[in-house]
Amino acid sequence: MTPDLPPGGARAVARCDALGVAPYSDMAEGLFRAYLTPAYAAAQEAVAGWMEQAGMTVRRDAAANLLGRYEGAEPDAPALVIGSHLDSVRDGGRYDGPLGIMLGIECVAVLHAEGRRLSFPIEIYAFGDEEGSRFPAAMLTSRAVAGTLDAAALDIADADGVTLDQALTSVRVERSRDICAQRVSTSLDTNGGGVAEYLTAAREPGSIRAYLEAHIEQGPVLEADGLAVGTVTGIAAQLRYAVTVKGMAGHAGTTAMRLRRDPLAGAAAMVLAVEQTTRGDDSDAVATVGTIEARPGAANVIPGEVHFTIDVRSGAEERRNAVAEAILVRLKEIATARELDLAVERIHDLPASPCDPALMDVMDEALAAAGQPVRRLVSGAGHDAMNMAGLCPTAMLFIRCEDGVSHNPAEHVEPEDADIALRVMLGFIERLGARAGDRNAA
């Protein structure tokens, strides 16, 4: 299934590439792997085989996450968890999520090949639903593991009306598949417990020593600085608004320009104001109008109503809030000047999730030991780490991606960069072991 490569970054990249096509995609051309679909089940089976080859025992938890465990000398010691997500957006890239899983497996493969076990276990989580790829909620599976998911959030259905409970109880994973030219028999539970058991995926507080996630940067900073990897300081705070602008619909040919109350023209001015206000702040804050809709949507009708969204992010909540407030003030001014009705609903408020300072120092040490300049940067995108932070200290490592492109088939990572990331991760693990008093870590 993948080239016969030794453990390393190149093999991690090759395995991501192998998962980018059928039967590991739900679309014929391109990649779309949604939670609890046939492609998801097939990908889990492949990854389970790679985990077993690396010396891990493998299981699925009640949230249908795939979990590999490499025992430590002290089995009851809190585990180091390395994780990321297996699902993808529609027509997405091959490395957003899976690369972090594959690099975790490679870390364990290196230790297993050398016959080394640390004092603590290492667990690799392949989370199932980070992107909100099927159901109208994101990060269900890492929230379940972190114990921060409310039972009411499980009462959901996909676009076809299939409920989460139905999807969980119907998904099946083959017990054997020809992987890498050899038969692999997995220990995956194929029955599924449904939503009644979903929240039992939660880990006990104190059972996890730390959480480590390697991920492509999804931005251009590392490439612009000529760096392969960098230490993540945290995940930016996010605000999202749904905006409705109402005016007066009318005939496109008979309504004089001076008499119009056109909400689409007003919304256009508002979109520009979002950009101008955020650029004028001259900080790390970013703001995006990602969707816009004019109703009734006819070529010969002046719209009567326009809907659009605003997404505001910053590494600091205070900065995010200040920029968002300035944007809303401008929107109100524009609406008043144009005699338009304005309604703004806050639909998403996600606080910043800082990485653990001590673990950031460990990551910096591992970067330096691998011959890499120490560089720290914030994540503008959300990751499973932000949920795991509610359970244990977290650390993240960013990996350079070409042109900063992500959520796109053009997403690309150089194998050499993945190999550097692997060396840094191994150094992080060894230093974490040394801090735990593990004589076999160094």
Question: What is the per-residue pLDDT across 57-84, written as a single tens digit (0 to 9) for each?
Answer: 999 999 999 999 999 999 899 999 999 9
Task: Enter the pTM of the model.
Answer: 0.84
Q: Which band of pLDDT confidence, cut at 50, 70 and 90, is reported for residue 193?
A: low
Q: Return d(Cα 410, Cα 72) in angstroms, integer.
A: 39
Please determine, for residue 255, whether its predicted confidence score (pLDDT) is greater than 80. Answer: yes
Give the start-to-end residue ranges of the domains of the chain: 9-236+352-435, 237-348
Please determine, for residue 266, whether its predicted confidence score (pLDDT) is greater than 70. Answer: yes
Say what the pLDDT of residue 334 is.
98
Angle (deg, nearest 10), helices 263-281 and 317-337:
150
Q: Which band of pLDDT confidence, cut at 50, 70 and 90, is reported for residue 439?
A: very low
Say what the pLDDT of residue 3 is.
58
Say what the pLDDT of residue 180 is.
38
Please determine, for residue 256, whether its predicted confidence score (pLDDT) is greater than 60. Answer: yes
% of the chain beyond a pLDDT of 90: 86
CATH class in words for 237-348: alpha beta
Q: Which band of pLDDT confidence, cut at 50, 70 and 90, is reported for residue 411?
A: very high
Q: What is the pLDDT of residues 81-130, one digit of tens each?
A: 999 999 999 999 999 999 999 999 999 999 999 999 999 999 999 999 99
Mean pLDDT for 354-371 is 97
Please determine, for residue 278, whether its predicted confidence score (pLDDT) is greater than 50. Answer: yes
Q: Contact at 8 Å (CB) between 228 and 372? A: yes
Among candidates 325, 417, 387, which has minimal Cα distance to 125? 387
Please determine, for residue 141, whether its predicted confidence score (pLDDT) is greater than 90. Answer: yes
Please determine, for residue 429, whether its predicted confidence score (pLDDT) is greater than 80. Answer: yes
Among candidates 222, 220, 227, 216, which has minimal Cα distance to 396? 216
Cβ contacts of residue 387 below 8 Å, gap of 6+?
139, 142, 143, 145, 146, 148
Say what the pLDDT of residue 176 is.
35
Q: Contact at 8 Å (CB) between 384 and 336? A: no
CATH 3.40.630.10 fits 9-236+352-435, yes or no: yes
Say what the pLDDT of residue 7 is.
86
Cβ contacts of residue 439 below 8 Å, gap of 6+?
none
Say what the pLDDT of residue 297 is.
96
